[in-house]
Structure 1
Amino acid sequence: MRRATLLACLACLTAPALAETALPGGPPLDARAFDALTLGKRMDTYDPFTLYGIEEFLPGQRAIWKDATGCKSATWEQVGEQICFSYEDRPDEPDCWIYNIHQGELWGWYEGRDDGPVVRLVPANSPMQCEFVGA
């Protein structure tokens, strides 16, 4: 009986640790922390070492994304530990990321997976020109 109680207690203590996301870097950023790091900025997006897009973060959890295919507007929100972007061309298929600070930079882990796509966001110096007056 005593052994069963001890094992049950150990299981309770280790279960939350196993449930947490084990990603490099610090803890996941919530919406407030993500907004504080991105609002009013343009961020070059690397995968993680090749530049493939730029995103401008606007008030009201809105953004404009630009890559080789063009520009599109988005909104974002926190869903659990993830920041999910809904782009105008796929509003019902959000792209969700867990963002944290890794090696002193803002990194994103697609769907919070350490085996999936990873991005690195770096403040951009280049202008962002789109054909529309966006979101």
Structure 2
Amino acid sequence: MTGDQFDAHVTGRTITFRTDTNPAYGIEAYLPGRRVMWSAFDGTCMYGTWYESEGDICFIYDDDPAPKCWATYLQEGAMWATFINVPDGTVIYETDADEPLICNNLSS
């Protein structure tokens, strides 16, 4: 997916992801302005931003400046992605789960 395609698919949504071995890998809220909030279902959330780089979608989180880049694809209306920072990286799949994003570590 290009950055524009990714933006059109995710902005304003909260998406739950799974892997082949973990049905609850994580959840991410996609906010306006290419901002995100990620949680791995442990109640700890991280704010970040995303950008397109060489055809991949990369994320930088406020508490970790190292980019996390994913090759993203859209298939039959659902997104899946491969983590490209390491060889044979994690593959995640968008699910149809409607999970809430709960952040115990952020004040309102």
The residue number in structure 1 matching 2:93 is: 120
Identity %: 31
- Cα distance per residue 1:14-71 (max 9 Å; x no partner): xxxxxxxxxxxxxxx0111001111111100112452121000000001000112611
Q: Does 1:43 align with 2:15?
A: yes
Normalising by structure 1, we get a TM-score of 0.68
Larger relative strand fraction: 2
Over aligned residues, Cα RMSD in angstroms?
A: 2.3
Larger relative helix fraction: 1
Normalising by structure 2, we get a TM-score of 0.84
For residue 51 of structure 2, what is the amino acid of its counterpart?
A: E
For residue 32 of structure 1, what is the amino acid of its counterpart?
A: D
Structure 2 stretches of 5 or more lacking a match?
none
The residue number in structure 2 matching 1:59 is: 32
The structure that has the greater radius of gyration is 1
Alignment of 1:1-135 (within 5 A): 29-50=1-22, 51-67=24-40, 68=42, 70-91=44-65, 93-102=66-75, 104-111=77-84, 115-131=88-104, 132=106
- Cα distance per residue 1:66-124 (max 9 Å; x no partner): 11261100100000111000011111x11000100246521101118883211112354
Number of aligned residues: 105
